[in-house]
Structure 1
Amino acid sequence: MDHALIESTLGELVAANSRELERKCEQIAMSYLAQVVEPQFDVDSADFDRDPHLICADRYWNHRFRAEPTLTTAVACAGWMAEHVAAAVHEPILEKWALGYAFITRDSVESAGEIADATRDIVAADDSACNKAYFATLYHAGKLRADFFFDELAQFLDSSPLALAAGPHRESVLFTALRAFAAFGSRRTTAEYACQLFDQVWTSPERTYAATDVALNGLAYSVEFEGRAALLRDRAAEAVGLHPNSHILHFRLATGRWLCGDHDDALISIDTALRLLPAAGWRVSHELLQGQYLARREAIEVARVQARQAAVERENAERTEREITKLAETVRGSVVKVIEGVSIFAAVIAFAVGSLNISLNGNLSLAGRLWIIAAFGGGLLLFALLVIGGTWAVLHRLSRRDPD
């Protein structure tokens, strides 16, 4: 291949429109594949949208992984990166490639035996074995993550010879984020342990975009625990503030708001995620992600309608309860008034009849008659007051009694 001509062509593509850029990079990548030759140019930018060199290399390795989704390919990719990717942009490209290629080949998880064979080859290869093992570990872990194999992922990261061969890279923030993802989804670990790992990622000054997304992804699919929804919402909002053009982080925020019951805000977030999702599905699985986003949007809409219906029903129930309470108070007041009237009327009738009998009794003096009438009237008045007071006290106690 004429590598100088390819270099010249890629340099000219800097000013090309996106359609031409994509087409030419695809052609160059396919020509490398056809001749079984790896690209010979260098990459010094992490701009996956406009850098022709990175786009062409990305196309090449994407096809390689689709054709042979193995750890052997991952080792070859890691070796190419060590020689051709500038140190300043090495980490973001490594993380994006390892997890991205894992996602598109998630249906080809390798067995323990295949992992052991690949590990032996890596360790025996050269002094860069540690770096190659790290990339291969991320690649395999990315497959387990994409398939939501939480327990298998935890076991692989903790005890696999391949993961152990990564050496000091095991302390990287992305490695910790993958461990947090596994812990959140596993029912063999506690929420406290998962949150500890999550906090290590979140508070790390070396936290990367990939680590941020993996940690939030684990929290979004976590076994339920108290405060999970609010934690996801708040942390995703922070992430969106740092990466406002990331469709996946807006999706995470929509999920957190949805779980918190903030349906209107969740709808805004999911619509933003759909708007930011690239129309072309080269690097991302456009149709798959769009399907996930639309399904989440539908779930948010359903939850919002149900919440509104529940609010209306709650308001109607409260209004009915107020009306019943008002009616009960009115009835109690009427009962008291009726009892008061009956008591007074009965006392008056009794007083009148009793007074008449006393008045017709000619054996008593006038003073004696008046004293008896006064004593009799006072007793009847006291009786009426006792009946009225007792009735009021009983009804007042009933009105204050706890409904439960």
Structure 2
Amino acid sequence: MKLKTILATTALAALMASPAFAQQIAVKLGVLNDRSGLYADLTGEGSVVAAKLAVEDFKAAEKGIKVEIVSADHQNKPDVGSNIARQWYDQDGVDVILDVPTSSVALAINQITKDKNKIMLNSGAAASDLTGKACTPNTIHWTYDTYALAQGTGGAMVKAGGDSWFFLTADYAFGHALERDTAAIVTKNGGKVLGAVRTPFPGTDFSSFLLQAQASKAKVIGLANAGGDTINSIKQAGEFGIVAGGQKLAGLLVFVTDVNALGLQTAQGLVLTESFYWDRDEGTRAWSQRFAKAHNGNMPSMVQAGVYSSVLHYLKAVEATKSKDTATVLAKMKELPTDDPLFGKGTVRVDGRKMHDMYLYEVKKPSESKGKWDYYKQIAVLPAEQAFRPLSESECPLVKK
């Protein structure tokens, strides 16, 4: 009996010491976004598909990492999003919250995530404050932000002669941040801001606001909005003949899903800034075709691509540290270089800003397109260090001056 006991104990000890046993880690990921409103097409279920593809491509199960993915609709409301986040963290065992478009929701969950010592990998919200004055050690801002959008679209249009601006601004944190960051680029490059009007969020009728912009005689009307708001304001601008009258529209945040909804006849000529486009190269095309098969034939937005990329890097850090401890994993995520077929090589800075190139695109004319989803032609590449706010200008308390 003693011999059997010794052998059993030895066998158990050997099993516990084996890599397969030692790396049995269970992580729970929560995709929190808009699943029913004006941002549903560019985030929504597509972000869940992207997260699942990341887990599949990483072969998490083969590496001893059990991943569970849950999702919920925050309805673009900070109180709804906050309640879900607290329940996920306190009761449901969620380790990481993903996506979170709508900056007012993201900023609220940013603080809750810090308080609960969990992780938020944000690919959906735009406010650059997430890596600025509101930065925390627990949030990584993955895909884009208002500073980069301003550098790209705003900077390009000023250099092309659009030196007077009027803003239509969604009246919440994202719109305010986008107007602020773009106005700073416009004035820095010698342009002038002639005025701005705050529009209800979400909005449907932009008529009176567009008439004010038209009356301003500004060369550029900056649309500091997104999703359904952008689609509606561009359509209504067409009805008023604003572009035909000589003014230009600057879609400061336009997604490929928006262009798909607008159609090339309406969207042609729009200049926009994105960090990802499905048809950029062989790697993006191959992944996007897989995504489309799993998502009703729809190509991914940059937000959905960002979910994939952030989950992949998170899992790499879990594998490398053999842990899901928040501080340990976050430190490893900032230590390891990022590398995936969608964004290429990059890094995560101390302020939580994921660094990668941004791209300036122009929407094709209908005659230039080879078919559905063939919408962009590339104008320029913005290297990461130019696209994103330099640490020397950061208000983030994590950055040592």
| TM-score clears 0.5 | no
Give the TM-score, by structure 2 length: 0.24
Give the TM-score, by structure 1 length: 0.23
Which is richer in helix? 1
Which is richer in strand? 2
Higher relative contact order (CA 8 A, sep 6+): 2
Larger radius of gyration: 1
